[in-house]
Structure 1
């Protein structure tokens, strides 16, 4: 019975959004960048972030104190574009 319900449970859980990080008004969305649960998340458009948006890249925000930022940059080809509210904003090319 549980095995039969597992696909439905996974589908429902995928629809839930992660809470918006506290202490910032950056327009985060999604449940993590690259994988659900990742600390980095996509950033949407507002009056501040529109200057960093590009139709060939994702704008991604990561906590500035994240331990593996160097690995993230190397793995994704990310380029730092700004820092705000304890987050580093990266432009990550879409491949």
Structure 2
């Protein structure tokens, strides 16, 4: 009988969801294929992969990069990289950054 209480308790806790207090919700939810920071892993602007939303903007001589539309550093990004604005999808502004 001593083993029934722990087993019952484990069964009860198995259905609980554990919350991670360090995660914060992303405000720029999108279906864009985000591949990580462009200039560094912590960069807000991210290199984009290929999917149905980006296929028409890809160029073999340039990187396709997305920056959140509300990102205040977009002007610095354009100056630093020579990026050309292409379009806006969801809450992201897409840029072409030449590799040449």
Normalized against structure 2, the TM-score is what?
Answer: 0.69
Normalized against structure 1, the TM-score is what?
Answer: 0.73
- The answer as to 2:34 corresponding to 1:28 is yes
In the alignment, structure 1 segments of 5+ residues that lack a partner are: 1-19
In the alignment, structure 2 segments of 5+ residues that lack a partner are: 1-25
Moved segments of 4+, more than 6 Å: none
Tell me which of 65, 72, 93 is aligned to 1:67.
72
Q: Rg: which structure is higher?
A: 2
Note the 1:29-48 alignment, pairs <5 A.
29-30=35-36, 32-48=37-53
RMSD, aligned α-carbons = 1.6
Q: How many residue pairs were aligned?
A: 75
Look up the SS of the partner of 1:46 in the other structure: coil
Tell me which protein shows more helix as a share of its residues.
Answer: 1
